[in-house]
Amino acid sequence: MEPTCSRQGVEGGIVPHGIDLKSEIRRLCGEKNAVVMAHYYTDGAVQDVADFIGDSLALAQKAATTDADIIVMCGVHFMGETAKILCPQKTVLVPDLQASCSLAESCKADEFAAFIKANPGHTVISYVNTTAAVKALTDVVVTSSNARQIVESFPKDAPLIFGPDKNLGSYINAITGRNMLLWNGSCHVHERFSADSIVALKQQHPTAKVLVHPECQSEVVRLADKVGSTAALLKYCLADDAQVFIVVTESGILHEMQKAAPHKTFIPAPPTDGSCACNECNYMKLITLQKVYDCLRLGRPVVEVDAEVAKKAVRPINRMLEISASHY
Ligand code: 13P
Ligand code: SF4
């Protein structure tokens, strides 16, 4: 059954009772030449209404090439900023501008600039989970899909700074034999997975394969059968013969996994204490079907990026897209 809703819209207007939000969103997209893009961590209903679902890299690549006039980026704010930087002439909407990211929050531009200044002569590599202002200080942006290839595109002894995710950074250091200087940031969702809880799940499901996002801590990453971005984990579970998977990342990805492989079993890894829904990203979950409808209807909230910042930030993003295009 299609979702119906009579909750208040963003303007305080009551949405008429029984409105079919999904059909209305599709109708508005056609009327306004808008495209809805969603990250795998958003609510399942939001993923189901989207024209395109992807990981951070795929969302940036898709935004860079879309013909639509309006991009509704159903994800966190930095994803909307990246789309706006790549398509300054387009309107980019993020249904809730409060949808931040703990990694982006952990890395303030002035503090990152001081870190760079204190370590002269380093190439600066930033994870896409950063603000536009941090990207503007960066030489090349990476996502979890392409971090390895991009780091390996530099000579082994090149001095590199990597920010803000210390877990992704140490994973890339370990698999590439690099010694990048790491910013001390982490994701509040991925930090909460513990090795003990995964070992306990493995004991209950001995044939299960363990899928881990590289934002997890190294003791969790060590237990993985596959480490990768959301898209890489999805691809792996579809291709692999195993029937049961323990999924150690934000639980929104299970929606697409279960849809794509309904005969397989996906078990979300619990957060450390198992007492709450901490394997959900509370920022991603701010994006509801109601807000997608409201933002399309009202044409806001709009993502804006300062023109000077955008001019500097577009270079490292394009550099990433160029290197990625030669690998994928
Ligand atoms: P992906 O690039 O793997 O989609 O990850 C984005 C993210 O925010 C992970 O927490
Ligand atoms: Fe940011 Fe973590 Fe949410 Fe990903 S899961 S958007 S890294 S807070």
CB 278 less than 6 A from any atom of ligand 2: no
**DSSP characters for 131-158?**
-HHHHTT-SEEE-TTTHHHHHHTS-TT-
* pLDDT given at position 1: 30
- Is cis: bond before 262, omega within 30 of 0? no
Q: What confidence tier does 8 reach under pLDDT thresholds 50, 70, 90?
A: very low
Amino acid at 30: G
Residue minimizing CA distance to atom 7 of ligand 2: 187
Q: For ligand 2, atom 5, name the residue with the nearest CA.
A: 281
Tokens linked to 230: 């959301």
Split at pLDDT 50, 70, 90, the class of 285 is very high
Of the listed ligands, the closest to the CA of 143 is 1
> For 78-81, which contacts have Cβ atoms below 8 Å and span 24 or more sequence positions?
78/104, 78/128, 78/129, 78/130, 78/131, 78/132, 79/39, 80/303, 81/131, 81/132, 81/303, 81/305
Q: Distance between CA atoms of 167 and 150, rounded to whole angstroms?
A: 17
For residue 16, is pLDDT > 80? no
Residue 6 has pLDDT above 70, yes or no: no
What's the confidence (pLDDT) of residue 115?
A: 98
| Residue 252 or 272, more confident | 252
Closest CA to 41 of 231, 215, 175: 231
Q: Given ligand 1 and candidates 56, 57, 102, 280, which is best to mutate, with the most ligand atoms within 8 Å of its CB?
A: 56
- pLDDT over 50 (residue 14): no
Sign of the alpha-carbon torsion through 49, 50, 53, 55: negative
Substitution site in 82, 188, 282 for ligand 2 pocket (most atoms within 8 Å of beta carbon): 188
If we measure between CA atoms, which residue out of 27, 28, 53 comes closest to residue 38? 53
Res 10 pLDDT > 70: no
**Least confidently predicted of 168-182, 193-207, 265-279:** 265-279
Asked if pLDDT for residue 9 goes beyond 50, the answer is no
> Would you state the pLDDT for residue 324?
86
How far apart are alpha carbons 204 and 216 in whole angstroms?
Answer: 22
Which ligand is nearest the CA of 192, by number? 2
Task: Report the separation in Å between the CA atom of 137 and the middle of ligand 2, taken as the mean of its atom positions.
Answer: 21
Structure tokens at 175: 């698999």
Residue 92's identity, in one-letter code, is V
- pLDDT at 121 (0 to 100): 97
138 close to 320: Cβ distance less than 8 angstroms: no
Would the CB of 191 count as within 6 Å of ligand 2?
A: no
pLDDT of residue 83: 98
* Integer angstrom CA distances of residue 161 from 127, 186, 319: 11, 16, 16
Residue 232: pLDDT over 80:
yes
Which of 73, 76, 251, 254 best tests ligand 2's pocket when mutated (most atoms within 8 Å of CB)? 76
Helices (H) and strands (E) in the chain, counts: 15, 14
pLDDT at 199: 96
Q: Higher-confidence residue: 170 or 277?
A: 170
Q: Compute the distance from residue 18 Cα to the ligand 2 centre, in Å.
A: 33
Cα–Cα distance for residue pair 321/319, rounded to 1 Å: 5
* Structure confidence at residue 18 (pLDDT): 72
- How far is the centre of ligand 2, averaged over its atoms, from the C-alpha of 284 (Å)? 8
Please give the mean pLDDT across all residues of the chain: 93
**How much distance in Å is there from the Cα of 14 to the middle of ligand 1?**
34
167 close to 215: Cβ distance less than 8 angstroms: yes
Mean pLDDT of 49-53: 98
Q: Give the torsion sign (CA, 180, 185, 190, 193).
A: positive
Least confident range from 10-14, 29-33, 43-47, 241-245: namely 10-14
The predicted structure's pLDDT at residue 270: 84
* Percentage above 70 pLDDT, the chain: 92
144 CB within 6 A, ligand 2: no
What would the mean pLDDT of 237-242 be, rounded to a whole number?
98
CA distance 65 to 52: 13
- Asked if residue 151 has pLDDT above 80, the reply is yes
**What integer pLDDT is reported at residue 327 of this predicted model?**
60
**56 in contact with ligand 1, CB cutoff 6 A:** yes
Give the residue, by CA position, lying nearest to ligand 2 atom 8.
101
Range 245-264 average pLDDT: 98
**Could you tell me which residues are beta bridge partners of residue 14?**
8
User: What are the C-alpha distances in Å from 139 to residues 57, 162, 202, 246, 282?
Assistant: 17, 10, 41, 36, 30
Cα of 214 vs centre of ligand 2, distance in Å, is 12
Confidence class of residue 277 from pLDDT cuts 50, 70 and 90?
Answer: low
Taking residues 37-44, report their average pLDDT: 98
Report whether 132 contacts 109 (CB < 8 A). Answer: no
160-163 and 123-127: which strand pairing? parallel
Quick one: average pLDDT of 207-227? 98
**What is the residue-wise DSSP string for 187-238?**
-TTGGG--HHHHHHHHHHSTT-EEEE-TTS-HHHHTT-SEE--HHHHHHHHH
- Is 90 exceeded by the pLDDT of residue 116? yes
Average pLDDT score over residue span 93-107: 98
